[in-house]
Amino acid sequence: MTSPATDNRRPIVPVRYLDGRRLSRALRAGMLNVIADQERLNRINVFPVPDGDTGTNLALMMRTMIGALKRKSSGHIGKTLITAADAALDGARGNSGAILAQFFQGLCDSAAEYPVLNTRQFSTAVASGAQYAAQALQEPVEGTILTVLRDYSHAVANWCEKQSGPDYIALLHHGLQQAKRSLANTPKQLAVLRKAGVVDAGGQGFVDLLQGIHDFVASGSLRQHPDLPEIEDYEPGPGAGEVEDLEYRYCTECMVNGTQIDRRKLREQISELGNSMVIAGTHSKVKIHIHVNYPQDVFERAGKFGRVSASKADDMHKQQLSFHARGKVAVIADSAADIPDDQFEKLNIHMVPVQLHFGNRTYLDKVSITSEEFLALLESHPEHPQTSQPAPGDFRRQFQFLCSHYAEVISISVTGAGSGTYQAALAAARRLPGKSITCIDSRNISIGEGLVAMYAAECAQAGLDGDRLVRAIEDIIPKTHAYALLGDIEYTVRGGRISRRIKQVAGLLRISPIITAARDGKVTLAGFLPGRTGLDRKFHRFACRKMKPGKIYRVVVGHVGCPERANRLLESLLRSRPDLHSIHLCEVGSGIACHGGPGTLVLGVQEYDLQPGDSGADRQSPADEPNGL
């Protein structure tokens, strides 16, 4: 291949230095090239876990960096590198993202003082970046992005030793060719890549970055702003995306901010919890990436070194399943939806966790804290928990991943009349134009939202999509209800949902309130049960009155720390309504528990006598046999 520096089609003036603005534009061109290759990177992602999210993670990181570089423009190249490195750390996601963030940190630390950078200084900075990246891992593996980084840094250094004059175009060309050779060799170094017939996804992302930078610098004008390029289509080998048993389920990440963070000690504290650990950052800000089964252990240990933020834990088992559902519809709900565990797995429903705050401690609902652990804290912690809806960025990250594996995404949210979760999902979807994402307000709470999500997933598995699927979900929402018999109204008072005066009135009248979501989604009283004894029997009669004779219902009975009572309610419902389509038991999460406390019973009912959507001939049935216990 002819070097662009000697291409005889038109003379190109050598580029002898880079300043901050030139570098910013060149980096943005490279980052846009990575974003354009997002779907291919997802499809070839088989190491360290075939969870298909490398492209999504790198694309999100690149967008964070592009935004920072646009906001902070400087002619000083050192200042530009500081901006890039800081944004890389903030936006880093996944194994490859954390490694690449540390590479940028090495570049920054080596060249932060330079106003401009010549080729030899660039070579030294690249070598520093490759060294930083290697040191970020506890157990470096050959045949990954680390190998490509190292080979690229060697190629750049060798070129500088042999050339007499500075020329960035020739230097970048030489380094890019070696990076491509190194990438092509990764299957020979890593058996899992060879079996799948793919190259390393992280290494490919780095080569995409280099390609975009090279093409932009070699174009002859460093004053233009880069446009998003087109990337050729690519199909991985037949082994890509095979589901494997995972030793660790959650890809866990967080940021630690502090002063003089001892990264060696932090590494020692975290490393024993799992594998695929990457520690990137500086002495004041560190990004942690590790695969574990108990994410909260990571957050708690990290909290000993500074303030923990940007916590996340992606379910890699769910991500693996996405490979085998490619082209279908993905259903995702927030964690306020209470769904029986077997149905959550069977229907492959995805989840965005709500954040829970006990004082200065933060948890990811149903990910880093179980329902049992939440209940124990609810009873013992001096402060009442606060919940916060998932940020639009949390939805956006999940949407981007799912859109790379599914043709369509349906997002089901807890009632918009009582939470901003639906609006957060909608805001995230609007920032992804061109993607088929539909956000639906379930106008339900707890098990009600869960039943809507279950029905949506069944319809999707039955083959409904597009407008038919949306209509089917909208049709089922008014036929779906959840009723919660509060265990202790004191928790409702603590949460600010009702006044202490109302509690006093309820106590004097000896009545127990039942809450529900009305047709418009507003959380309201569904009624009261009189007295203090026989409440379970009375709640059973209340439940039977909510189910019309001659109709078929799916029922879920939920509870907060009272499984025996829930089982008795379930059995009595089976005796009263033997014609139920199905009945399930589940432990409900924080959405109801923090307002009803221990002893709360929740009943979810969904009219199920119609095929998905309505009784029209074009509708398809989920073809599910009734499920009991």
Same domain, 146 and 289: no
User: Quick check: is 238 in a domain?
Assistant: no
Same domain, 47 and 172: yes
Give percent above pLDDT 90 in the chain. Answer: 59
Q: Which two tokens stand for residue 328?
A: 């279908």
Characterize 548-558 residue by residue with b for buried, 16 or more Cβ atoms within 10 angstroms of its Cβ, and e for exposed.
Answer: eeeebbbbbbb
CATH code for the domain in which residue 485 is found: 3.30.1180.10
Q: Which two tokens stand for residue 404?
A: 């790379």
Q: What is the pLDDT of residues 322-370, one digit of tens each?
A: 655 555 899 999 999 999 999 999 999 999 999 898 888 889 999 888 8
Same domain, 199 and 275: no
CA distance readout (Å), 326 to 39, 52, 408, 409, 623: 12, 11, 10, 12, 21
Same domain, 120 and 213: yes
Residue that finishes a domain, picked among 276, 291, 317: 317
Same domain, 260 and 194: no
Long-range contacts of 284-287 (CB under 8 A, 24+ apart): 284/257, 284/258, 284/259, 284/260, 285/86, 285/89, 285/255, 285/256, 285/257, 285/261, 286/255, 286/256, 286/261, 287/89, 287/92, 287/98, 287/101, 287/253, 287/254, 287/255, 287/256
Q: Confidence class of residue 3 from pLDDT cuts 50, 70 and 90?
A: very low
Q: What is the 3-state secondary structure of 397-460?
A: HHHHHHHCCCCEEEEEECCCCCCCHHHHHHHHHHCCCCCCEEEEECCCCHHHHHHHHHHHHHHH
Is the pLDDT at 129 greater than 50, yes or no? yes
Same domain, 589 and 510: yes
Q: What is the pLDDT of residues 10-50, one digit of tens each?
A: 445 678 889 999 999 999 999 999 999 998 998 899 888 88
Same domain, 268 and 209: no
Q: Name which residue leads in pLDDT, 5 or 224.
A: 224
User: Quick check: is 440 in a domain?
Assistant: no
CB–CB of 317/246 below 8 Å? yes
Q: What is the pLDDT of residues 591-618, one digit of tens each?
A: 889 888 999 999 999 998 555 544 333 3
User: Quick check: is 223 in a domain?
Assistant: no
Same domain, 59 and 201: yes
Q: What is the pLDDT of residues 533-568, one digit of tens each?
A: 899 999 999 999 999 988 999 999 999 999 999 999
Other C-beta atoms lying within 10 Å of the C-beta of residue 126:
25
User: Quick check: is 208 in a domain?
Assistant: yes
User: Quick check: is 457 in a domain?
Assistant: no
Same domain, 263 and 210: no
Mean pLDDT, the chain, rounded, equals 87
Q: Phi and psi dihedrals of 91, rounded to 5?
A: -95, -5
Residue span of the structural domain in which 549 resides: 479-607
Q: Phi and psi dihedrals of 246, rounded to 5?
A: -100, 130
How far is it, in rounded angstroms, from Cα 61 to Cα 100? Answer: 10
Residue that finishes a domain, picked among 277, 294, 317: 317
User: Quick check: is 458 in a domain?
Assistant: no
User: Quick check: is 369 in a domain?
Assistant: no
DSSP 547: S
Total domain count, the chain: 3
**What per-residue confidence (pLDDT) applies to 371?**
84
Same domain, 581 and 490: yes
Same domain, 564 and 509: yes
pTM assigned to the model: 0.76
Same domain, 197 and 262: no
Give percent above pLDDT 70 in the chain. Answer: 89
**What per-residue confidence (pLDDT) applies to 218?**
87
User: Quick check: is 412 in a domain?
Assistant: no
Q: What is the pLDDT of residues 467-513, one digit of tens each?
A: 999 999 999 999 999 999 998 888 877 766 667 777 777 777 788 88
Task: State whether residue 516 is helix, strand or coil.
Answer: strand
CATH code for the domain in which residue 286 is found: 3.30.70.260
Residue that finishes a domain, picked among 282, 301, 317: 317
CATH code for the domain in which residue 133 is found: 1.25.40.340
